Amino acid sequence: MSPPERAPALLVTADGVVFAGEAAGASRPIATGELVFNTAMSGYQEVITDPSYAGQVVAFTNTHIGNYGTNGDDDEAPRPRCEGVVVRDLTAVPSNWRSTEGLEAFLVRHGLAAITGVDTRRLTRHLRRVGAIPCAFGTAPEAELRAAAAAAPTTDGLDLVSGVTATTTSTYGDGPLRIVAFDFGVKATMVRRLAALGRVTVVPAGTTAAEVRALEPDGVFLSNGPGDPAALSGPRDTIAELLGRVPIFGICLGHQLLAAALGGTTYKLPFGHHGANHPVQRLDTGVVEITSQNHNYAVAAGSVPDTEVTHVNLNDGVIEGIRSRRVPAFSVQYHPEAAPGPHDARYLFAAFNALMQRTATSAGQR
């Protein structure tokens, strides 16, 4: 099968750098968003459907994207929330027994614009120099794309969670433990991991502490999600009300919000951590885990009182995990559910289970 004929397209960053390519995915003259790069070698469907990418355009550093197609089982959310996709080579004919749809057909069905044929090595080097930056891409004239890129917002100060969270409550699993999971942009794989531990009630991000307590949970889970944690004062205050009343486990944005509820602060990384091969050291054992990551913000070192740092990123020293010394609560910055990515850190779900069991036993003995 010959590759499809494509219209010429451009990608322009807010600082005026231009990258040539060809239009792909859903037809759109201009698409905008904050441009980040992801280094995962596979798992593009899970990346594209991760709600944590809301407001962002994802550039893949792996050369060939779409090789094995897509299928419904690998979706992490009902639809993509990112603003666009940038690739070097979009495969026209996928080859995999699990594939039910090609990646481009998937993008078209979901109305997601893409650009292919881009020199993603040059693009990644630029992002490593200047950091995550707004961009515009599409078939519009260069002058229009330049103006759109200059006007496009970053994720700083934006509440992007309200655009991806559930509007209703849903329940999964039937085990003896009761878990309330805050949906800040939760991935389907996280829910599956939690449902293996007990009955999981997924609630909207705006759920109050009183509403959570009324569900009488054995544990509360804080999910991943997009945007700036500093813009989420409501969820932060809710978590603060729950501290000490119920065991809490947070991942990614949930980690940042737990740190904020404990009195800490967050800051924006230059270009974030986006990929499936980041080395993280578990400090109590010295073991190095290879981890999946997707975040632009991080917890400031030394800012969270009465906690210990449990994990650190060996690439840049960023805090990757904390544990409270005064209440049953812990969190990690990376993605132990591993979709996509290695399974080195799935033990953290067992650790959450053990924390809930211990807390429930202690409460029963009092």
pLDDT given at position 359: 83
Query: Which CATH fold would you assign to the domain 8-151?
Result: Glucose Oxidase; domain 1 (3.50.30)
Pairing, β 133-138 against β 31-38: antiparallel
In this prediction, residue 366 has a pLDDT band, given cuts at 50, 70 and 90, of very low
Q: Residue 109 and residue 162: Cα distance in Å, rounded?
A: 24
pTM for the complete prediction?
0.96
Helix ranges (DSSP H) in 131-208: 142-151, 188-195
- Asked whether 136 and 300 are in contact (CB, 8 A), the reply is no
Q: What's domain 161-365's architecture? A: 3-Layer(aba) Sandwich (3.40)
Domain parsing of the chain, residue ranges: 8-151, 161-365
pLDDT over 90 (residue 363): no
CA angle 358, 339, 320 (to 5 degrees): 60
pLDDT given at position 365: 45
Q: Residue 250 and residue 258: Cα distance in Å, rounded?
A: 7
The share of the chain scoring above pLDDT 90, in percent, equals 94
Instruction: Report pLDDT digits (tens) over 302-312.
Output: 999 999 999 99
pLDDT given at position 24: 98
pLDDT over 70 (residue 364): no
**Annotated catalytic sites, by residue?**
252, 335, 337
